Structure 1
Amino acid sequence: MSSTSLNRQKPAAGSAAPRRGARSLQKGQQTRAAILEAALGLASHMGLEGLSIGALADVTKMSKSGVFAHFGSREELQIAVVREYHAKFEEEVFFTAIREPRGLPRLRALFERWVHRVSIEVDSGCIYISGAVEFDDRPGPVRDALVSMVKDWHNALRKAILLAQDAGHLAPDADADQILFEMHGLILSLHHDARFLRSPGALARASVGLARIVDSFATPAGRDADVTARQRTADATPPSPAPADAPAARRRA
């Protein structure tokens, strides 16, 4: 083998160290993400106050010092969980819904995605809601993080309401803050009735509540746009398969 080919295969001096550093950084990021995912699961069931470095070490099969190295403190861990929850909420609710046209179709999509999120959190819990109960009277960085994330979401909803007014779908004199208040109130009631009371009709009642909001504030053009959007959604959603023991005539229908 010639010296030329040898030199070509031999790594340049100092190049191995940066590669090792990059791999170490990537591994550290992956470990932190795994810890954060476990922390989010714990917080969903136990609340943010239920989080501790020790409990997380048990779940992740890591040492306390290993977990501590990634977050530094319990407070930092709680804030990281709030931010992670918010990122997932944005991805599942906001970024999906804003694909709909501006106006009532988008506002309805935001609400329906929100309802869907609550429906899948019935057995775990919403960190926004449980966090508000835990930190409503406890000033500090964790409360500030929670308030900031919830306000971000409320601002996005309020903007969608104002855009619906600009589109002529909501009455120009409609109070955007009142609409936002009523929509949030429906979500709080849904969470309470579905999670605490285990009421089987909670989801349907939330839908009826939104229909009443639309009837109260929508213009005729808005109602038409809302009906069209609902029909488009229904047409795009494949029907649920009939149970195996359903009568043949029902399955054919």
Structure 2
Amino acid sequence: MASELGVSDDAQAGGGATGTKLDGRVERGNQTRRLVLRRTVDIASVEGLDALSVGRLATELKLSKSGVFALFGSKEELQLATIRAAGRIFLDNVVEPARQSPPGIGRVRQLCARWLDYSEQRVFPGGCFFYGVIAEFDAREGAVHDALVHADRDWNGRVKDCIAEALDTGELRPDTDIPQLAFEFIAFMETANAQSVLHDEPDAYRRAGVAITARLRAAATDPSLVPQLP
């Protein structure tokens, strides 16, 4: 962990006044990095990753430009760090809570419900962070594009894995097309996000929930496992 924070193993182990000062600088740097990234994910969710700049962040957060630049080194690295930070927030709000449900249809429902809640509650002010920035970079090339491809594939994979678990428990019909079902669920969720953000239409989330529930009931071996939404 020490090397990840930019501190050599020798410096960390050395102790004394020099080690204390170095540890203090590292911790202050980490705190500043967290502060900057909390702001960048919010900006990017509304204005896109291209809206990020060292000068803007320094001004808004009352930091020195040189200090912010030293934390990231380039605009591209700032964008990549922002994607990673958004990914951690997404995991905390969507993926990890859904894992508390046992494998099966219940976990599938929870994963979709947590995603809709994450968008509706504006964990990021622009709605789903990844929905917005993927549209910004989908036709480009480079490290940022590749990082977003990885994030999108990871999310798609999680949805498919969750559906596969429900199939393995016997709660979904044996002929269930896992990629197709995952595609439909994600389409419903992303459409709700887009409609809500563009039109300020909160009912879009209810409609997505109804659509996901109906599709899941149709695929279930026992539809009673999927309570209908009111």
TM-score of the pair, normalised by structure 2: 0.88
Name the CA distance, whole Å, in 2 between partners of 1:52 and 1:22: 28
Name the CA distance, whole Å, in 2 between partners of 1:203 and 1:215: 18
Q: CA deviation at 1:65?
A: 1.3
Find the counterpart in structure 2 of residue 72 from structure 1: 73
Give structure 1 stretches of 5+ with no counterpart.
1-12, 232-253
1:130-177 superposed Cα distances (whole Å, 9 cap, x missing partner): 111110110110111111112111111111100000011111111000
Percent of paired sites with the same residue: 35
The answer to whether the 8 A contact 2:58-2:68 is kept is yes
Find the counterpart in structure 1 of residue 86 from structure 2: 85
Deviates more, 1:53-62 or 1:116-125: 116-125
Amino acid at match of 2:204: A
1:224 aligns with 2:187: no
Find the counterpart in structure 1 of residue 167 from structure 2: 165
Amino acid at match of 2:101: E
Amino acid at match of 1:212: A
1:63-98 superposed Cα distances (whole Å, 9 cap, x missing partner): 221110000000100010011001110011111011
Find the counterpart in structure 2 of residue 10 from structure 1: none
Find the counterpart in structure 1 of residue 107 from structure 2: 106
Q: Which has the larger radius of gyration?
A: 1
Aligned-residue RMSD, C-alpha = 1.9
Name the CA distance, whole Å, in 2 between partners of 1:163 and 1:30: 39
Aligned residue runs from structure 1 range 1-253, under 5 A = 15-121=16-122, 123-220=125-222, 223-227=223-227
TM-score of the pair, normalised by structure 1: 0.81
Q: CA deviation at 1:109?
A: 0.2
The answer to whether the 8 A contact 2:45-2:133 is kept is no
Amino acid at match of 2:30: Q
* Number of aligned residues: 216
Find the counterpart in structure 1 of residue 10 from structure 2: none
Give structure 2 stretches of 5+ with no counterpart.
1-13
